[in-house]
């Protein structure tokens, strides 16, 4: 992802963030009150507003620098969802040949499951086990892939625990920051929107 900077939005500026997943659904209501509902896509898209963490002139300056360094909405960056940033998952079964597995997170229980591709694991947080035994792997932190040196044996259970960030960009082309006489900062919105990559969209 050449239009992505592998840096995280400062955690202390994100304190008190509002937001979460958004699902686009077309709802047609008939004259008799019944409805027809149709999802515009399989995947949700997360949207946030990080305005609550910005209080002081120093923080406003830090936000300004971060915004300018990303050229506004031009370049994406990492963002830690304050609620949803950890996972313990079953990645699949070994077949004796496959060496590469994608990180995912499962929401819900069968038969109502949503499987989300995780493309931005946090460095140093990924632990992988084969049949319960911790195993060394190579981790691609830019795409959320793990690579075994030798393919896990046929039928072996592959699990992983990890933390992850959400790839986002600024959803606005401008910042509107006001400083009062006491050095406090006021800003109405810092909207962020998830970047849905081809890897994420290809899952399911």
Q: What's the pLDDT at 50?
A: 86
Please answer whether residues 126 and 147 qualify as being in contact, where contact means their C-beta atoms are separated by less than 8 angstroms. Answer: no
**pTM listed for this prediction:** 0.88
Q: What's the pLDDT at 53?
A: 65
Provide the residue-wise pLDDT of the chain in tens; the chain has 204 residues: 579 999 999 988 888 888 999 998 888 888 888 998 888 888 899 999 987 667 788 888 899 999 999 999 999 999 999 899 999 999 999 999 999 999 999 999 989 999 999 999 999 999 999 999 999 999 999 999 999 999 999 999 999 999 999 999 999 999 887 777 666 667 778 899 999 987 666 765
Q: What's the pLDDT at 182?
A: 63
Alpha helices, H only, 17-172: 57-69
Distances, alpha carbon 151 to alpha carbons 27, 68, 117, 144, 181, in Å: 46, 44, 21, 18, 63
């Amino acid at each position: 992802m050449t239009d992505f900077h592998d840096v995280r939005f400062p955690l202390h500026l994100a304190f008190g963030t509002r937001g979460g997943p958004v699902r686009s659904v077309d709802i047609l209501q008939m004259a008799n009150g019944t409805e027809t509902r149709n999802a515009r896509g399989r995947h949700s898209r997360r949207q946030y507003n990080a305005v609550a963490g910005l209080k002081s002139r120093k923080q406003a300056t830090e936000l300004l620098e971060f915004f300018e360094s990303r050229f506004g909405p031009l370049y994406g960056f990492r963002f830690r969802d304050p609620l949803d940033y950890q996972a313990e998952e079953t990645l699949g079964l070994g077949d004796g040949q496959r060496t590469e597995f994608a990180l995912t997170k499962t929401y819900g229980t069968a038969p109502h499951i949503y499987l989300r591709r995780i493309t931005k694991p946090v460095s140093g947080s990924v632990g992988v086990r084969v049949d319960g035994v911790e195993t060394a792997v190579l981790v691609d932190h830019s795409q959320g892939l793990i690579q075994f040196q030798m393919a896990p044996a046929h039928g072996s259970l592959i699990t992983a625990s990890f933390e992850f960030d959400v790839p986002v960009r600024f959803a606005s082309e401008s910042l509107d920051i006001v400083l009062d006489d006491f050095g406090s900062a006021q800003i109405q919105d810092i909207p962020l929107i998830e970047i849905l990559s081809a890897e994420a969209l290809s899952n399911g």
